[in-house]
């Protein structure tokens, strides 16, 4: 097996098209997102994992949200707190990040990149993507100026001041992190792999984690094993990782 080196880890890493750790949830050490069922680089000695996207992230990046200076890729935040607040999603991070130290501008790797192939719109300050959960129109990234309704992917609230992807035609909104959800995850309380469903296939479905209802328009993680009807809210799985 070919071995690979990465600047965030002292040992060589091996590449796997997918890695199944049974009931264990595999989390990327760079971005802290699940990486079960996705291409992954791993050091089994240290239980260290990197998404293919995080492993191949460029060391320097010019990003449309910060065009004045290039962003440098750091293995961890440069602040004394050991964490940073992403200027895209306004959420805290503690791992791999793109940073402009001159401006104290920081981005999560998954916010700087989008595995759904984002492309610049006619206005270079905007970014558009297409989602499988909303195939009719592209979504444009922008900052919410006031509290909005819930995210149409995960169903949780969208407070003012955060960046989201939005389709104005359909009044469809999505958290930035909800545009890069893994297709499959493993959950500690269920023996089978859960797959991402882009629309809840049931009129009414009770989440098997929190016991709340999953709206039909929202995405969900569901077991596709024959005879098994286990399913969860998006956040009930990803928030625990």
Which pLDDT value is given to residue 65?
78
pLDDT tier at 153, thresholds 50, 70, 90? very high
pLDDT tier at 78, thresholds 50, 70, 90? confident
**What is the model's pTM?**
0.49
Mean confidence (pLDDT) of the chain: 79
Q: Which residues 6+ apart lie within 8 Å of 104 measured at CB?
A: none
The better pLDDT of the pair 162, 36 is held by 162
| Range in 24-33, 53-62, 163-172, 217-226 with the lowest mean pLDDT | 24-33
- The CATH code belonging to domain 119-179 is 3.30.60
Tokens of 187: 């959950």
Same fold, 119-179 and 184-238: yes
Which pLDDT value is given to residue 211?
92
Check pLDDT > 70 for residue 203.
yes
CATH topology of domain 184-238: Wheat Germ Agglutinin (Isolectin 2); domain 1 (3.30.60)
What is the mean predicted confidence (pLDDT) over 185-201?
A: 82
Cα 97 from Cα 75, distance rounded (Å): 7
Tokens of 125: 């300050």
Check pLDDT > 60 for residue 83.
yes
**Which residue in the block uniquely carries the two structure tokens 């545009």?**
179
């Amino acid at each position: 097996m070919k071995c690979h080196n990465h600047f965030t880890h002292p040992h060589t890493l091996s590449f796997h098209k997918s890695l199944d750790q049974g009931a264990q949830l595999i989390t990327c050490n760079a971005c802290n997102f699940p990486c079960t069922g996705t291409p992954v680089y791993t050091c089994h000695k240290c239980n260290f994992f990197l998404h293919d996207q995080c492993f191949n992230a460029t060391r320097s990046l010019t990003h449309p949200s910060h065009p004045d200076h290039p962003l440098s890729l750091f293995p961890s935040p440069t602040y004394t707190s050991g964490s940073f607040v992403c200027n895209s999603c306004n959420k805290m991070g503690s791992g791999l990040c793109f940073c402009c130290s001159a401006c104290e501008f920081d981005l999560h790797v998954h916010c700087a990149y989008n595995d759904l192939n984002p492309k610049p719109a006619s206005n270079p300050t905007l970014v558009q993507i297409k989602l499988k959960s909303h195939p009719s129109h592209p979504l444009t990234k922008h900052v919410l100026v006031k509290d909005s309704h819930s995210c149409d992917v995960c169903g949780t609230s969208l407070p003012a001041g955060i960046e989201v992807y939005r389709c104005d035609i359909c009044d469809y909104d999505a958290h930035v992190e909800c545009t890069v959800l893994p297709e499959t995850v493993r959950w500690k309380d269920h023996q089978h792999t859960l797959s991402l469903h882009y629309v809840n296939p049931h009129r009414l479905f009770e989440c098997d984690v929190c016991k709340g209802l999953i709206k039909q328009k929202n995405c969900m993680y569901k077991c596709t094993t024959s005879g098994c009807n286990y399913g969860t809210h998006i956040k009930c799985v990803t928030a625990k990782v």
